[in-house]
Amino acid sequence: MLQYRLMQATDVARCVEIVATDPFLAPRYGNAIADLETAWLLLLGRLAFTAIVFEEPVDGDRLRFVGAGISAFVSDAFVREIKKPPLGWVGPEIARRTCADDSPVLSDREVAEANTRGGLNLIGWHGLTSIEDAKRPEVLNFVFSSFIDVHRGFLIKELLGQADSPEVLQSMRNSGGYFYDPWLRAFVPSIAGSVDEIAGRPHLMGSTRELALAGTWLSGSAMFSYQPPQFFFNRSEQRLLQAAMQGSTDMELSEQLAISASSVRRCWLSIYERVASRSPKVLGEPAAGYENANAVRGKGKKHRLLAYLREHPEELRPLSRKLGVRTAATR
C-alpha cells in the first residue's frame, strides 16, 4: 500500500533528478534546473512549503521510493504576476527567485496571518514520479488524494498549478479542474489544443474557493472546505498533538519533541483545559462506575480529542492567535 512522509534534506537530490530526467519537466527548467535543489533545501521546513515523499512497501519492511509532492503558499503579488499573459513556467520562476533571495513563498508569519484571515494562494509545484509509476492509476490517485489530505484545514482562496504530464492534465480535467485564461482573466472549462499540446506549453489550471465550493471541481471541494478553529492551540501544543496523532506515547513524545516528561504532562493539561473551556463535549465524560475514573477519563479524553482533530485539521494549521481570537470575538 502506498504511503507518504515528510521530505528530508537527503531526499531532495533524488527528487530533483526526476525533474532533470523527465521529458516534460526538464525542458521547462532548462538552466534553472541548477537552482532547484538549492531552492528546495532553502525552503524545506518553512510553513509555506509542503514537501512529501511517496513510498511503497516491498519485500517486507523495505520501502521503495515512488516520488514526491511539492507545493507552496505564495504572495498575492506573485499570483497576479503569473496570471498575466503570456503565461510562463511557474516552478522554474519560484526556484530562480528563491535562490536570488527574492522568493514569493510566504514567511512563517505571513502563512499564519493569511491562514487566520484573508486566505492563502496555493501553488501545486510538482507531483513527481518515475515515468513507469506515472502510468499506474493507483499512483496517480494517491498523489491527488495526498495533495488534498496535506492541505485540508488551510483557508485556501486560490489554487494554481501546471500539469506535470499529459496524464496528470487529463486527470485534472476529468475531475473538473478549470484552466485559467489570462486574456479573459477568468477560469474556463477548456482551452484549445490536445492534452499533449497543452501539457507541453505554459498553462495554468486550478480553481478559486468560490468555484470549488460551487461544485465545479468535485475532487477539490474537500481541500477548500474550511471552518475556523475554535481552540487556537499554540505551535508547541500543535506539534505535540500532531505527533500524538501518529500513535506516540507520552514517553515517545518527550523524546521526539526533546522536552521533559513533566513538560509533556503540562502541555496536555493546558490542551485539555482550553478544550474543556470552549467545547467540553469534545472530551466527553467518564463512564460511571469505574474505580479509577481519573485514569479512564485521561485515556478517554485523549482518544476523543485525537479523533476530533482527525476530522478538524484546521485546529493543527498555522494561525495568528492574536488575530484569530479577535476575529472569533466578532463572530
* Other CB atoms within 10 A of residue 324 CB: 20
Q: Phi/psi zone of residue 82: left (φ > 0), alpha (ψ -120 to 50 degrees), beta? A: alpha
- Looking at residue 194, its pLDDT comes to 94
Q: How distant, in Å, are the alpha carbons of 69, 90, 118, 146 from that of 56?
A: 15, 29, 38, 14
Question: Would you state the cell numbers that stand for residue 183, as one nine-digit string?
Answer: 486574456
How many other CB atoms are there within 10 angstroms of residue 249's CB atom? Answer: 10
**Cα–Cα nearest to 177, from 193, 199, 161:** 161
What residues in the chain have per-residue pLDDT under 70? 216-221, 285-298, 323-331
Identify the burial level of 111 via C-beta atoms within 10 angstroms of its C-beta, where 0-12 means exposed, 13-18 middle and 19 or more buried: buried
Full-model pTM: 0.89
Q: What is the residue type of 155?
A: L
User: What is the C-alpha separation between 298 and 6, in angstroms, rounded?
Assistant: 30
What are the sequence ranges of the domains in the chain?
3-224, 235-311
Looking at the structure, give the CATH architecture of the domain made up of residues 3-224. Answer: 3-Layer(aba) Sandwich (3.40)
Q: What is the dihedral of CA 142, 37, 99, 33, to 10 degrees?
A: -90
For residue 181, the cross-strand partners are 186
pLDDT computed for residue 327 by the predictor:
55
Q: Which residue has the cell 494562494?
A: 121
- DSSP H helices in 100-208: 108-116, 131-134, 137-151, 166-174, 195-199
User: What's the pLDDT score for residue 295?
Assistant: 42
Q: What is the per-residue pLDDT for 131? A: 80
224 close to 212: Cβ distance less than 8 angstroms: yes
The pLDDT value recorded for residue 290 is 38
* Residue 27 CA from chain centroid, whole number: 27
CB 35 within 8 A of CB 42: no
Q: Coil, strand or helix: which one is 132? A: helix
For 34-57, write each residue's pLDDT tens digit: 999 999 999 999 999 999 999 999
Q: Give the pLDDT of residue 130.
A: 83
